[in-house]
Structure 1
Amino acid sequence: MSTPYASAAPYYARYRPPYPAELYALLVDRFALDGSQTVLDLGAGPGTLSLPLAPLAEHVYAVDPEPAMLAEGCALAEEHGHRNISWLRGDAAGIGRLCLPRIDLCVIGGAFHRMDRTRVPADLDAMLAPRGGIAVVTSLAAAWPAVVDEVRERFLGPDRGTAARAAATRPADGPAEMEEARDVEDHLAKSAFSRVVTTTWERSTRCTPDQVIGLQFSRACSGPALFGDRKDAFESELRRALRDHYPDGTCTRTVTVAATVATRPRR
């Protein structure tokens, strides 16, 4: 059975922005990645983390419950010549049944809040090497302009539109900015991986109307399947609204990326 991300998968692969290079430099430093390690990407999607990590590891296991996401990732890996990634259908609740080898690093990008945050670190404790650890990566983005919400709600209704807005946006200023990262820290600090450090990077991105529309379709709560035969009408109306709101044709958005690295306490 496919997940709500099935129709969103091609847009997710194409329009979700990559994580900053500083993230991978951090993982190389913290876990001494030199091409000999085994990495698990849990909730991998189309390989947003798996693909950049492939040149840094001996092997990457990309695990996701959605076949369409895995198919997109597999195609991208083939395109970029990454042949050391195994694309496995599964979810966080069943990682122990995948019979994976000893893991040096588990990365989780934007999916930890959908997992059992007590069980997953406990399961990983049995799988990770003594010096291994977990890196949870979250992206905290400024809200979309109001016109995006207004058009989306006209097509999906106020309930679905509100759900989409909550999933698609987070305030990029004030104390709420790091709420999700603090939640990650709290759960990991109570696990066997209680040595927890969070690093953040902030950047501004300029999005064209095509990118704004593609990002709406990349989300489970506003994926193409939800619009049915009104998908093209939604796209046209949103494009027109964006053109009226941004005469120069671009939307600037601030994104904060937080990487929470958790390892076992030193003995």
Structure 2
Amino acid sequence: MSTPFASAAPYYARYRPPYPREFHALLADRFVLDGSQTVLDLGSGPGTLGLHLAPSADHVYAVDPEPAMLAEGARLAAERGLTNISWLRGDDAAITRLCLPRIDVCVIGRAFHLMDRARVLTDLDEVLAPRGGLALVAPLHRPGEPRPAWVTVVEEVRARFLGTGRADGEDRADGEDREDREDWDELGDLLAKSPLSRVETHQWDQTVRRTVDEVVGLQLSLSCGPAVLGDRTAAFGTELRRALLDHDPCGTYVRTLRSRAAVATRPRR
């Protein structure tokens, strides 16, 4: 059965903000990526992480429950001439049932907060190579940062089309994940009790500038996008463009995203 993200897949691939370059540099350094590693991109979506890692890996296994996301990722891989990615349908409960080889690096993006995290950490211990590890990354709201006025404009238009109550998690109008302090404290506790208890954390800020079309595309990448809007999708896009340009005719909308990452490995013996 398809998820609400089926119709959002092309927009997700195109309009979600990329993870910071510093995160990819961290992976290359921490796991000495030299083209010989096997990578698992769990909750891959259209391969936002896996496509970037494929040139530095021997093979990437991209796993996601939504066939449309996998199809979009396969299309992008073909466009880029990447032939070392396997696109596998499955969720976080399927890690030990996919008959994967030993994994050197597992990467999980924003989908991690939707998973059974304790089980994922236990299951990963079964598939990770002895020196393998897990890298988590998510774009998060910066505590205390005032919300840009254009985000409020977007939410007002969304409320007219979708009603209220869709501002959490994957449905945030700015594409960030929900406020993170308690989530990351809980994650730290989970990691400390897991087999992957050796943890280092990092964070980076990046400024994202979007055109009016990119702001509209970002909304259509959400789970409450085309699947919920249905035949009102075009009208929603027209209304949102008008409202944004009425608010700021320059047509450029800026947001600073804070990405947090955690790299977890087994303790040294």
Structure 2 length-normalised TM: 0.92
* Aligned partners of 1:197 and 1:262 also within 8 Å: yes
Q: Which residue of 2 is the match for residue 165 of structure 1?
A: 172
Matches within 5 A, 1:29-48: 29-48=29-48
**Contact 1:136-1:184 at 8 Å conserved across structures:** no
**Local SS of the residue matching 2:117:** coil
The residue type paired with residue 112 of structure 2 is F
Query: Is 1:215 aligned with 2:218?
Result: yes
> How far, CA to CA, are the matches of 1:79 and 1:30 in structure 2?
29
CA gap of 1:165–1:24, structure 2 versus 1, over 3 A, is closer
Change in CA separation of 1:102 and 1:162 when aligned onto 2, cut-off 3 Å: closer
Whether contact under 8 Å (2:20, 2:206) holds in the other structure is no
Q: Which amino acid aligns with 1:21?
A: R
Q: What SS is found at the alignment partner of 2:232?
A: helix
SS across alignment from 2:172? helix
| Deviation for aligned residue 1:170 | 5.4
Secondary structure of the equivalent of 1:111?
A: helix
Q: Which runs of 5+ in 2 are unaligned?
A: none
**Does the aligned pair in 2 maintain the 1:153–1:161 contact within 8 Å?**
no
C-alpha distance in 1, partners of 2:168/2:61? 35
Tell me if structure 2 keeps the 8 A contact 1:133–1:264.
yes
Aligned residue type for 1:159: G
Q: Conserved in 2, the CA contact under 8 Å of 1:152 and 1:161?
A: no
Structure 1 residue 192 corresponds to structure 2 residue 195: yes
State the number of aligned residues. Answer: 262
Query: Equivalents in 2 of 1:167, 1:152: separation in Å?
Result: 12
- Tell me how far apart the structure 1 counterparts of residues 2 and 174 of structure 2 sit (CA, whole Å): 20
Percent of aligned positions that are identical: 65
**Partner of residue 154, structure 1:** 160
CA-to-aligned-CA distance 1:81-130 (integer Å, 9 cap, x gap) = 11000000001101111000000010001111111111111001011011
Counterparts of 1:113-124 in structure 2, within 5 Å, are: 113-124=113-124
How far is 1:165 from its partner?
3.4
- Secondary structure of the structure 1 residue equivalent to 2:75: helix
Q: What is the match of residue 134 of structure 2?
A: 134
Q: Is 1:232 paired with 2:239?
A: no
Residue deviations 1:11-64 (CA, integer Å, cap 9, x gap): 001111221221111011111111101000000000000001001110000000
The answer as to whether partners of 2:110 and 2:177 remain within 8 angstroms in 1 is no
Q: Distance in 2 between matches of 1:15 and 1:104?
A: 29
Query: CA separation in 2, counterparts of 1:255 and 1:131?
Result: 31
Q: Which consecutive unaligned segments of at least 5 residues does structure 1 have? A: none
Q: Deviations over 1:206-263 (max 9, x none)?
A: 111111111111011x211211111111111110110011121111101111111001
Residue in structure 2 matched with residue 76 of structure 1 by the alignment: 76
Q: Write out the 4+ residue segments of structure 1 that deviate beyond 6 Å after TM superposition.
A: none
What secondary structure is seen at the aligned counterpart in 2 of 1:145?
helix
Which residue among 235, 245, 259 is the counterpart of 1:243? 245
Q: Separation in 1 of the partners of 2:168 and 2:42?
A: 28
Return the letter of the residue paired with 2:199.
Answer: V
1:168 CA drift (Å): 3.9
The 3 A distance-change label for structure 1 pair 161 and 259 is closer
Provide the aligned C-alpha RMSD in A.
1.8
Q: Distance in 1 between matches of 2:239 and 2:187?
A: 38
Could you say which residue in structure 2 is the equivalent of 1:263?
265
| One-letter amino acid of the counterpart of residue 214, structure 2 | Q
CA shift in 2, pair 1:18/1:24, >3 Å: same
Shift of 1:185: 2.4
